[in-house]
Amino acid sequence: MASKIYKNTLRWFPLLLLIVKRDFFKQFKGSYIGLGWMIIVPILYLIIYTFVFTEIFNVRWGNAEDVNGKINFALFLFCGLTIFNFYSTIISSGCNQLISQRSTIIKIAFPVIVLPIGLTLNSLIATIVPIILIALLSIIYVDGFSFNFIYALLLSFPMFLSGLSIVLIVSATSIFFRDTIQIARVFVTFLMFISPVFYPSTSIPEKYISLFYINPLVIPIKSLRSIFLGTEPPSVNSIIIYCFISLIFLLLSLIYFLRLKRGFADSL
Amino acid sequence: MSVAISLSKIGKSFSLSNNPSRNYFQLLFNLKKNKNSEKFIALNDITFNIFKGEALGIVGSNGSGKSTLLKIICGALEQSEGVYQVDGKIASLLELGSVFNPEFTGTENVRLAAAIYGLKIQTNDPTYNKIIDFSGLDPYYLSMPVKTYSSGMMLRLAFSIIINIKADIIIVDEALAVGDAYFNQKCIDFFKDFKKQGTLVLVSHSVGTIQSMCSRVVWIEGGSIQKIGSPKEVIEQYTNYLFSVKERIKKQRGVKNNRPNNIVENIDIWKSEDNSVELVDVSLIDKVEKIKTSLVSSKMKVSLKVELLIKSKLNEIIVGFYLKDKNGLNIFGDNTFVKYLREPISAFAGDRLICNFEFIFPRMPLGDYIISVACATGSQLDHEIKLWAHNALSISNIENHFSVGLVGLDSLDCTIQKVLKK
């Protein structure tokens, strides 16, 4: 059984790579700036959010008026947004993903699971540039280079696991219940406010703290902030626990996906 | 002979309730299917083997379940009942071009499509070159997005991929007419060659193609197998079924026919306002075998029987027919005018006219032809049409004889004289 899975995985690996590549370049096909958008978009976001939150809402974080305070706040915000963007893309694209590949799925026998995996990998790739941007700003304005940056790489693993679980569940469910698409839209907005994107995780009231950690965004956001903004390294323990929980979650969602998979062609 | 695909009691039913959530819970909790729910049975108890190195044709009218069966064999659709086994790699032309992404170039799409079939190819692989060669596409287009392709180019490329991915079994669903005549010929040549080592499953409405390509034919109707056997045998029964009106009405609609006889129900009949003539029956009879037939071949002696019921008194009746090809071009026809010029036929209400046109079927290209039947009063030049049945009968010319153009030649002799150089 295990060897069969291994053999199959090996066989479909080239397909996965091609699908990741295709979906990656699809975003930029036909545009003038092409790949440049990968860099321009995060920078634009960074500027917009920093401006709105520091100049208009007049939010203060850290030590008040100086430039460093503003940069710190921008970094703080951007760490949260990067993680949030990863999960929000996964949820909203995940809903449509299998439905949009209808003609392929109902006519060809191929491992449908490469599609969710491809989506997750691409969403992960999309976080690379923002993270590099954060790292650069952090080197210049915060503490200079620190070996703690390596943890950001480590973090991508549990994020992939939890992200993939979400895509598996959302994409399979939306085939049977198209309502998922509408629910997901609302849920993404809800997620933005229950995650510590615009506020530090310390501002959560004590009585909600255990509920708060159910949210898969909390640990990545917290860790990212302590990697690039804090002085102390992120809590490795919490990342490991997070990995572990994501893995269990992934296994459950795999079972869920594979069970429903038999009905995809009938229901699409 | 070893078996390439073995099907055992394959059944497929679709729920008519159109309620995906029920399906969802059944799949998720492995529930038994609700027996009482309304179902559409697409396939029922399909059992047969496809042998290695054989070319099997599948025929059946629209909606008979052919494509569903192919999708199950390919593994895209799961059967509701039964088991099947496949020995070898399947490539199927069910999905011509459906994997292509319009924004990407031809080359990128070729690689992706091949990868979906589990084949990793680079642009310098011999397989890649073979695909491009076969498709006959200009290398310039390969670096252009597929959305700029004509539909013919896209199909040619898809076709070339499917047949070059080293499959053991190729499934073709009504896709042989993908390109221009030159490309079609190339495909047919390929299949003839492929049959030597691979297995071919061919679904087509063109009985001529099936006849010339396949060694065995399965006829599926209403989701179950009607007949398996040699092409001639099965196709004859199938076409008889298709065009014999009696059976069609009985089987598909289950409606009792209260008309005087087995009148054609689904044909396009034009009648004059006085409704003075009714078409009772049209059939083609093989003069030698003395049976109704819908398959003809060159030099076959046939008789076209047209039976009419007269509703009100008519004078100077002319009955005629036309034979048209599938493009609607009139090929030949005849009528009773000249024969009864001296003593024209008159008839009263309630009379039946049984007309027979006996002729030798000319040498013509393979394919399907349509016979129109008409009844008029008057003369050849000045007449009033009373009834015109545009597609009264459909027949297929199955004789496998090479023919160029519209009319076959009854060649008397053909020689080459060689004059040697002095």
Residue B19 sits in which domain range?
3-240
User: Partners of B383 in the beta sheet?
Assistant: B378
| pLDDT: which is higher, B182 or B132 | B132
Task: Give the per-residue pLDDT at B165.
Answer: 82
In a domain, A85, yes or no: yes
Q: Model confidence over A129-164: pLDDT tens digits?
A: 999 988 888 888 877 777 778 888 888 999 999 999
Task: Give the per-residue pLDDT at A166.
Answer: 95
| B359 — pLDDT class (breaks 50, 70, 90) | very high
In a domain, A149, yes or no: yes
Q: Model confidence over B212-267: pLDDT tens digits?
A: 788 899 998 888 888 888 887 888 788 777 765 444 444 444 433 333 333 344 56
d(CA B374, CA B392): 10
Helices (H) and strands (E) in chain B, counts: 10, 20
Give the nearest chain B residue to A25 (CA atoms): B104
Name chain B contacts of A265, Cβ cutoff 8 Å. Answer: 71, 76-78
Out of A189-198, B23-32, B40-49, least confident range: B23-32
Task: Give the per-residue pLDDT at A64.
Answer: 47
Given a contact cutoff of 8 angstroms between Cβ atoms, the answer to whether B199 and B169 are in contact is: yes
CB of A28 less than 8 A from some CB of B:
no
| B202 and B326 inside one domain | no
In a domain, A65, yes or no: yes
Top-ranked range on mean pLDDT: pick from A243-252, B35-44, B323-332? A243-252
CB of B18 less than 8 A from some CB of A:
no
| B115 and B19 inside one domain | yes
| B217 and B144 inside one domain | yes
Mean pLDDT (chain B, rounded):
80
Name chain A contacts of B116, Cβ cutoff 8 Å. Answer: 15, 104, 108, 110
Name chain A contacts of B24, Cβ cutoff 8 Å. Answer: 176-177, 260, 263, 267
Given a contact cutoff of 8 angstroms between Cβ atoms, the answer to whether B339 and B317 are in contact is: no
In a domain, A60, yes or no: yes
Percent above pLDDT 70 for chain A:
93
Domain at B65, CATH number: 3.40.50.300
In a domain, B282, yes or no: yes
CB of A252 less than 8 A from some CB of B:
no
SS3 A15: helix
CB of A176 less than 8 A from some CB of B:
yes
Ramachandran assignment for A151, one of left (phi > 0), alpha (psi -120 to 50 degrees), beta (any other): alpha
Q: Model confidence over A4-19: pLDDT tens digits?
A: 667 777 777 888 888 8
Nearest CB partner across the interface for A266, out of B14, B116, B117: B14
| B261 and B232 inside one domain | no
Domain at B355, CATH number: 2.70.50.60
CB of B144 less than 8 A from some CB of A:
no
CB neighbours (10 Å) of residue A92?
Answer: 16
CB contact under 8 A, A108 and B118: no
In a domain, A39, yes or no: yes
Mean pLDDT (chain A, rounded):
85
User: Partners of B296 in the beta sheet?
Assistant: B397
Interface of B with A in 110-129 (CB under 8 A): 111-112, 115-118, 120
CB contact under 8 A, A29 and B30: no
Domain boundary among B207, B240, B273: B240
For the beta sheet containing B199-203, the strands, ordered from the edge strand earlier in sequence to the opposite edge, are B90-92, B169-173, B199-203, B55-59, B216-221, B224-229
In a domain, B245, yes or no: no
Helices (H) and strands (E) in chain A, counts: 12, 0
Out of A43-47, A116-120, B8-12, B92-96, least confident range: B92-96
Nearest CB partner across the interface for B94, out of A14, A107, A177: A107
CB contact under 8 A, B98 and A26: no
| The pLDDT of residue B347 is above 70 | yes
Half-sphere exposure of A99 (CA within 13 A, CB side): 18
CA B219 to chain A, closest CA, distance in angstroms equals 22
In a domain, B415, yes or no: no
Task: Give the per-residue pLDDT at B235.
Answer: 81
CB contact under 8 A, B76 and A175: no
b/e B257-292 (16+ beta carbons within 10 angstroms → b): eeeeebbbeebebebeeeebbbbbbbbbbbeeeeee
DSSP state of A55: I
In a domain, A13, yes or no: no
Best residue of A8, A17, A104, A175 to probe chain B, by most B CBs closer than 10 Å: A104
Size of interface A-B (CB pairs under 8 A): 89
Average pLDDT over residues B190-214: 81
Domain boundary among B213, B240, B267: B240
Give the nearest chain B residue to A30 (CA atoms): B103
Lookup result for tokens 């050849």: B380
Six-digit token string for A159:
């994020």
Name chain B contacts of A108, Cβ cutoff 8 Å. Answer: 74, 76, 92, 94-95, 98-99, 116
In a domain, B261, yes or no: yes
Top-ranked range on mean pLDDT: pick from A138-152, A243-257, B144-158, B230-244? A243-257
CB of B139 less than 8 A from some CB of A:
no
Nearest CB partner across the interface for B77, out of A104, A176, A265: A265
Nearest CB partner across the interface for A18, out of B77, B90, B115: B115
User: Partners of B378 in the beta sheet?
Assistant: B383
Task: Give the per-residue pLDDT at B259.
Answer: 35
In a domain, A237, yes or no: yes
Six-digit token string for B235:
């196709």
| B40 and B177 inside one domain | yes
Amino acid at B31: L
- Reference A111, options B116, B249, B184, B6; nearest CA is B116
Q: Model confidence over A23-64: pLDDT tens digits?
A: 888 888 778 888 888 889 888 988 888 788 777 776 655 544
CB of B27 less than 8 A from some CB of A:
yes
CA A186 to chain B, closest CA, distance in angstroms equals 22
Lookup result for tokens 């209400």: B349
**Whole-prediction pTM value?**
0.71
Ramachandran assignment for A252, one of left (phi > 0), alpha (psi -120 to 50 degrees), beta (any other): alpha
Domains held by chain B: number: 2
Task: Give the per-residue pLDDT at B245.
Answer: 45
Residue A65 sits in which domain range?
28-267
Task: Give the per-residue pLDDT at B268.
Answer: 67
| The pLDDT of residue B131 is above 90 | no
| B359 and B306 inside one domain | yes
| B212 and B303 inside one domain | no
Give the nearest chain B residue to A103 (CA atoms): B98
Name chain B contacts of A25, Cβ cutoff 8 Å. Answer: 104
CB of A107 less than 8 A from some CB of B:
yes
b/e B313-342 (16+ beta carbons within 10 angstroms → b): ebebbbbbbbbbbeeeeeeeebbbbeeeee
Task: Give the per-residue pLDDT at A162.
Answer: 94
Task: Give the per-residue pLDDT at B407.
Answer: 76
Name chain A contacts of B28, Cβ cutoff 8 Å. Answer: 256, 259-260
In a domain, A198, yes or no: yes
Domain boundary among B214, B240, B266: B240
| The pLDDT of residue B70 is above 90 | no
User: Partners of B50 in the beta sheet?
Assistant: B5
Spatial CB neighbours of B254, under 8 Å, sequence gap ≥ 6: none
In a domain, B176, yes or no: yes
In a domain, B246, yes or no: no
| B224 and B267 inside one domain | no
What Å distances lie between residue A134 and A38, A160, A228, CA to CA?
A: 14, 20, 7
d(CA B69, CA B42): 9
Which regions of A100-242 does DSSP assign to beta strands (E)?
none
Domains held by chain A: number: 1
d(CA B397, CA B369): 7
Given a contact cutoff of 8 angstroms between Cβ atoms, the answer to whether B77 and B69 are in contact is: no
Q: Are strands B90-92 and B39-51 parallel, antiparallel or unpaired?
A: unpaired
Spatial CB neighbours of A234, under 8 Å, sequence gap ≥ 6: A148, A151, A222, A223, A224, A226, A227
| The pLDDT of residue B412 is above 90 | no
| B222 and B262 inside one domain | no
DSSP helix, strand, coil percent of chain B (3-state; round to 5) = 25, 35, 40
CA A232 to chain B, closest CA, distance in angstroms equals 46
| B167 and B300 inside one domain | no
Out of A197-211, B249-263, B272-286, B340-354, least confident range: B249-263
Percent above pLDDT 70 for chain B:
86
Six-digit token string for A260:
């429903």
| B157 and B291 inside one domain | no
d(CA A180, CA A99): 12
CA A101 to chain B, closest CA, distance in angstroms equals 9
In a domain, B209, yes or no: yes
Task: Give the per-residue pLDDT at B29.
Answer: 81
Name chain A contacts of B30, Cβ cutoff 8 Å. Answer: 259
| B220 and B272 inside one domain | no
CA B2 to chain A, closest CA, distance in angstroms equals 24
Best residue of B24, B121, B169 to probe chain A, by most A CBs closer than 10 Å: B24
